[in-house]
Amino acid sequence: MRVLIRGAGVAGLTVAHELAIAGIDVTVAEIAAKPGGGASWFAGGMLAPWCERESAPETVVTLGCRSTDWWDAALPGHVVRKGTLVVAPPRDTAELRRFAARTSEFGWLDGEEIETLEPDLAGRFRTALIFKQEAHLDPRRAITALSGKLAAMGVIFHFGTAQDFPGDGFDHIIDCTGASAIGTSAGLRGVRGEMLVLETPDVTLSRPVRLLHPRIPLYIVPRGDGRFMVGATMIESNDGGPVSARSLMELLNAAYALHPAFGEARVIETGAGVRPSYPDNLPRFSEKDGMITVNGLYRHGFLLAPSLAQEVAAHIFSTSKTNAIRPVKPFDPAAIIHRRSENPMGASR
């Protein structure tokens, strides 16, 4: 069996991985000059399903809690399992209680316990939440490593092309082109996310820290070598242009609120990506006229892509007419990710 995947972001690469490990001949076509040329490159890389539950449905927890083990198995050594710390300024402790009421699998910390986990935050916060089961990774290192692993497994990559790459001779074509499908895929919209990277030798963090604020919620993810990814805005827009002055000021102000030393940090990068999203902000795949479309990862790309990839692979295996495919554990049909398969007559099944 030969499968063509259009798009080499986190969705396309995780699908390619699930198919390649089953012995399927996979080709990946990407419009950019390298893997992860879209929103995946600007992601935070937080594997934080319980924190995301604060503003997302239970589905995100159900499917996202598998992602840490998936990434650890696919790319050993890339996942950092030190949890997520959630803090709020003393005047905003009500925000912390509200966050706790909408999430689970956390513990409360007092000021001394915060200092034990993150010494550089000593004396800055009276209480916090720790989500010990959560983890994070560097998305850019992960994308680069995963594409390299796939190439070593025999997956063929073509860059500078995607939608115009010919599909002749392939048994399945899977569209994972993300935001490029906005305007052609029903219900798909863009949510703009902006981020920046700060560099300072004066702050050390061991895990992602979320700072709650009624107007400017923020997360800071350590990337090593004194660098920190700061994000991220959520703006209903298809604009993938440079970061706005307003967003830059808000992100910098929030970083300064977490630790004043960020005021002296160097801004070494700013970036913006358009995250494709359906009305319910949950990803899905659909099939029509022989084309499988995978999209709508919203802000949960690295968190939900593995489960979605497993579902797509299970669908292909179940519809395959060949027995040459090595069997894999099927995706749990009770999972709540939306599955929309349509036959050429338009009748849902």
Q: pLDDT per residue over 151-169, tens digit each?
A: 999 999 999 997 789 889 9
Confidence of residue 347 (pLDDT cuts 50, 70, 90): very low
Please report whether residue 237 resides in a domain. Answer: yes
Query: Any idea what DSSP says for residue 133?
Result: T
| CATH code, domain carrying 30 | 3.50.50.60
pTM value?
A: 0.91
| pLDDT on residue 31 | 93
DSSP string, 75-118: STT--B---EEEE--GGGHHHHHHHHHT--S-EEEEHHHHHHH-
Helix ranges, the chain (H)? 10-20, 49-52, 58-64, 67-74, 93-101, 111-117, 139-152, 245-258, 301-319
Say yes or no: 212 and 336 in one domain. no
**Mean pLDDT (whole number) for 198-209:** 98
Q: For residue 311, which of 319, 299, 300, 321 has the smallest C-alpha distance?
A: 319
Say yes or no: 126 and 194 in one domain. yes
Confidence of residue 290 (pLDDT cuts 50, 70, 90): confident
**Mean pLDDT (whole number) for 302-319:** 95
Q: pLDDT per residue over 61-100, tens digit each?
A: 999 999 999 999 999 999 999 999 999 998 899 999 999 9
Please report whether residue 228 resides in a domain. Answer: yes
Q: pLDDT per residue over 237-267, tens digit each?
A: 999 999 999 999 999 999 999 999 999 999 9
The residue assigned the tokens 């949890």 is 83
**Mean pLDDT (whole number) for 3-22:** 97
| pLDDT on residue 105 | 97
Say yes or no: 296 and 154 in one domain. yes
Residue range(s) defining the domain that contains residue 95? 84-132+189-277
Q: For residue 84, which of 110, 112, 117 has the smallest C-alpha distance?
A: 117
Please report whether residue 37 resides in a domain. Answer: yes
Does residue 322 carry a pLDDT above 60? Answer: no
Please report whether residue 20 resides in a domain. Answer: yes
Using the 3D structure, point to which of 248, 277, 306 is the last residue of a domain: 277
Please report whether residue 230 resides in a domain. Answer: yes
